[in-house]
C-alpha cells in the first residue's frame, strides 16, 4: 500500500540533510513496526520517497514523504503507530492512502513556498524597495557549482510583511527538474545574510 505522509521538520532537525532525513524516517518506521516494500535485485532497498530536498538550515511545516508498506494499514492506525516513535525533529501531520500508480512525488512537484523571518535589525522600507527592484528585472544572476544561473525566472512571488517588530519575507519558487529556486539565493540577491534568518518551507505545490 502506498501512503503519503505530511510532516513538519522542526528546528531540532534543521541541519539534517536529505539522505540523513531519509535514514531518520527509515529508523522511525522500523521502530513503529511498519515494514516497507523493498526493491528487487542484488541490494534490495526500501521503497520510500521524499518529495524535495530542503536546504540545510531550513525548517518545514508541510513536508511530503511517500512510503510503500508491505502490510495493509488504515491511515489512522499508521499515524498512531508513528506518532509514538517519532524523534523530536519530526511532527507527523497526516497520513493518506494514495493510488499506487500516481506519479512520483519528485516529478509531480511544481513549486514551493517559503516564509523567511528576517533579522530584527532589518529595515522594512529599504527591503521593500529591493524586492520591487528584483521583481522588475528579467535577469538576476547567481552561481551554482561554478556555473552562472539566472534565478529571476525561478521566483514566482515575492513580498514582505511586517507584524510588530518582525519583518517576514514570503516567496514562491519554481520547483521543477533543473528549475528549482533556492531561498538562500533569493536572500543573497536582496543583500540579506541567510545565516541570520529563520527559513521555513510552508508548502509544496503539486
Partner 1 sequence: MPISLTLSEKIDRLLPRVQKPGRYTGGELNSIVKDWQQIQTRVALVFPDIYDIGLPNLGMAILYDLLNKRPDTLAERCYAPWVDMEALMREHGIPLYSLETRHPLADFDIVGFTLPYESLYTNVLNTLDLAGIPLRSADRNEQHPLVIAGGHAAYNPEPMHAFIDAFVIGEGEEVIHEIVDVYQRWKAAGSPRIDLLTALAGIPGVYIPALYSVQYHPDGRVSSFTADHPAAALPIQKRIVGTLPPPVTNFIVPYIEIVHDRVAIEIMRGCTRGCRFCHAGMINRPVRERPVAEILAAVDASLQATGHQEVALLSLSSSDYTHITELVDELAKRYTREHIVISLPSLRIESFSVQIMDKLKGSRLGGFTLAPEAATDRMRGIINKPVSTQQLLDTARAINSRGWTTIKLYFMIGHPSETLEDVQAIIDLCQQVYRVGREVAGGRAKVHAGVSTFVPKAHTPFQWTACDEPESIRKKQDMLRSQLKNPNIKLSWTDTKDTQMEAWLSRGDRRLSEVILRAWQSGAKFDAWQDQHNHETWLKAFAEAGLDPAFYAFRPRELDETLPWDHINAGVRKKYLLAEYKNSLLGVFREDCREICHACGIVPLFNAQANEDWFCPLPANREVQA
Give whichever of 58 and 175 is closer to partner 1, judged by the CB atom. Answer: 58
87 binds partner 1 (CB under 8 A): yes
Q: Do 95 and 75 touch, CB atoms closer than 8 A?
A: yes
Minimum distance, C-beta of residue 18 to partner 1, in the bound complex (Å): 12
Given 89, 111, 142, 168, the residue binding partner 1 (CB under 8 A): 89
Minimum distance, C-beta of residue 149 to partner 1, in the bound complex (Å): 21
Q: Do 46 and 36 touch, CB atoms closer than 8 A?
A: yes
Cell of 53: 530536498
107 binds partner 1 (CB under 8 A): no
15-34 positions binding partner 1, by CB under 8 A: 15-17, 19-20, 23-24, 26-31
Give whichever of 111 and 114 is closer to partner 1, judged by the CB atom. Answer: 114
Q: Do 18 and 53 touch, CB atoms closer than 8 A?
A: yes
Give whichever of 35 and 179 is closer to partner 1, judged by the CB atom. Answer: 35
Instruction: State which H helix or E strand residue 170 sits in.
Output: strand 166-176
Minimum distance, C-beta of residue 135 to partner 1, in the bound complex (Å): 26
59 binds partner 1 (CB under 8 A): no
Q: Map grid coordinates 532589518 to a residue.
A: 122
Instruction: State which H helix or E strand residue 127 sits in.
Output: helix 124-136
Minimum distance, C-beta of residue 136 to partner 1, in the bound complex (Å): 29
Minimum distance, C-beta of residue 197 to partner 1, in the bound complex (Å): 9
Q: What letter does residue 35 receive in the DSSP assignment? A: P
CA distance 72 to 85: 20
Q: Do 3 and 92 touch, CB atoms closer than 8 A?
A: no
Give whichever of 85 and 108 is closer to partner 1, judged by the CB atom. Answer: 85
Minimum distance, C-beta of residue 199 to partner 1, in the bound complex (Å): 10
Residues whose CB is less than 8 angstroms from the CB of residue 36 and which lie 6 or more positions away in sequence, other chains included = 26, 29, 46, 47, 48, 67, 68, 69, 70
Judged by the rule CB under 8 A, the positions of this chain that interact with partner 1 are 11-17, 19-20, 23-24, 26-31, 35, 38, 43-44, 56-57, 85, 87-89, 194-196
Amino acid at each position: 500500500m502506498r501512503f503519503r505522509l505530511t510532516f513538519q521538520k522542526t528546528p531540532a532537525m534543521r541541519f539534517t540533510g536529505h539522505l540523513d532525513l531519509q535514514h531518520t524516517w527509515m529508523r522511525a518506521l522500523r521502530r513503529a513496526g511498519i515494514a516497507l516494500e523493498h526493491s528487487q535485485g542484488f541490494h534490495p532497498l526500501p521503497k520510500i520517497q521524499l518529495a524535495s530536498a530542503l536546504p540545510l538550515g531550513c525548517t518545514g511545516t508541510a513536508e511530503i514523504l511517500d512510503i510503500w508498506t508491505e502490510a495493509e494499514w488504515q491511515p489512522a492506525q499508521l499515524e498512531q503507530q508513528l506518532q509514538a516513535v517519532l524523534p523530536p525533529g519530526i511532527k507527523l501531520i497526516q497520513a493518506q492512502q494514495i493510488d499506487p500508480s500516481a506519479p512520483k512525488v519528485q516529478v509531480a512537484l511544481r513549486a514551493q513556498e517559503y516564509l523567511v523571518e528576517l533579522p530584527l535589525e532589518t529595515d522594512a522600507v529599504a527591503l521593500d524597495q529591493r524586492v520591487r527592484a528584483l521583481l522588475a528585472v528579467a535577469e538576476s544572476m547567481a552561481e551554482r557549482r561554478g556555473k552562472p544561473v539566472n534565478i529571476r525566472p525561478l521566483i514566482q512571488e515575492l513580498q514582505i510583511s511586517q507584524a510588530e517588530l518582525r519583518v517576514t519575507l514570503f516567496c514562491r519558487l519554481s520547483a521543477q527538474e533543473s528549475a528549482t529556486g533556492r531561498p538562500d539565493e533569493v536572500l543573497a540577491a536582496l543583500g540579506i545574510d541567510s545565516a541570520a534568518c529563520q527559513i521555513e518551507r510552508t508548502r509544496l505545490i503539486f
